[in-house]
Amino acid sequence: MAEKIAGHANGAKPYTGKLIPRLLSITGLVLAAAASFVQGWALRSFYFETANMPRGTGIRPMGLVGMLFVLWAGTFFAGGFFSCAGLIFSIRCKCWHLVPVAILGLILSLALPFWGNGIYDYIVAVRGLVNEP
C-alpha cells in the first residue's frame, strides 16, 4: 500500500488552505473592477447628457452623485475588506502569486473616488457647467 500521510488514517492530503486567499483576492478585485466599470459608464452617460447644455447652466446631479457615493462607499468597505483579507491570507499561506491580485484589488477600491471625482470635475469644467448648492 502507498505511503500514508502522518495523522491521516485514510491517507488523504491535508487541506493546505489556499482556497480562502484565492476567493478573497479575486472577489475584492472583481468588486473593484465592476464598480469602476459602473462608475465609468455613469460618468460617460453624464458627459453625453450634458453635451447640448449651454455654458453657465446650473446643474444639480443628485442622482449621479448619490450613485457615485454608494459605489465609492460599497467598494471602499466591501472591496477593500476582501482585498485586505486576501492580501493577509495570501501572505500567511505563502501564495505569492495571489499577492499582486490582492494589491491590485486594494488599489482599485481605494482609487475609485479619486479618479471618479477628477473625471466629474473635468466634465463640469469642459462643459462650462455650474454646480448649484
Domain boundaries, the chain: 33-131
**Cβ-contact 29, 83 below 8 angstroms:** yes
Which grid cell sits at 100? 499582486
Rounded CA-CA distance 39/5 in Å is 51
Rounded CA-CA distance 61/130 in Å is 11
Rounded CA-CA distance 86/24 in Å is 5
Cα atoms found within 13 Å of the Cα of residue 76, Cβ hemisphere only: 11
- Express each pLDDT in 3-33 by its tens digit: 555 555 565 565 566 788 889 999 999 999 9
**Cβ-contact 21, 98 below 8 angstroms:** yes
Helices 99-127/19-49 angle, 10° precision: 10
| pLDDT reading at 73 higher than 90 | yes
Q: What is the mean pLDDT of residues 31-50?
A: 94
Q: What is the pLDDT of residue 103?
A: 94
Q: What is the pLDDT of residue 2?
A: 53
Percent of the chain with pLDDT over 70: 87
What is the enclosing helix (H) or strand (E) of 130? strand 130-131
The pTM score is 0.79
